[in-house]
Amino acid sequence: MRFMTRDTDYALRALIYMSKALSRKDKKVVTVEDIVRSEKLPKVFLRRILQRLAERKVLASYKGNAGGFMFLSRPENIRITDIMNIFQGRIDLTNCLLKGKICPERSACPLRKKMKAVNAVVVKELDRITIRSLAR
């Protein structure tokens, strides 16, 4: 079980960098090159990730010499779960797969019932974490 995908990790690192730049009032528009240089992320993946965030209305994308990316929402309003949902779907610790197929004992499984409760707590805690809080 992988809790966080590479794309989610890169997106969060980029958004945290952007939030820090915004709080320092360095600039509102941040280039891919700025993020790559600071966070040591691969440019080809990062560009695709930022474009996806722009498609989902988390960021705005600007082309040209003064181009880059800018927040559409305030970083304190962007939750880690929002980003996880974009790149990996909703958080589910109870997918109950056995050799790639749904487990036949899924509906009666006592462990699954406990894991659903754990999942609810995990989601609730992750919902409290914002990009701004991670940037502090």
Structural domains of the chain, ranges and CATH numbers in brackets: 6-135 (1.10.10.10)
- CB burial of 33-70 (b: ≥16 within 10 Å; e: otherwise) equals ebbbeeeebeeeebbebbeebbeeebbeeeeeeeebbe
Residue 79 DSSP label: B
The stretch 5-27 carries a mean pLDDT of 91
Mean pLDDT lowest among 23-27, 62-66, 79-83: 23-27
Q: Which tokens hold the place of 85? A: 């949902």
Residue 16 CA to residue 11 CA, distance in Å, equals 9
Is a pLDDT exceeding 90 seen at residue 106? no
pLDDT of residue 96: 74
For the chain, give the percent of residues with pLDDT over 90: 69
Contact 78, 126 (CB under 8 A): no
Give the single-character DSSP code of 75.
Answer: G
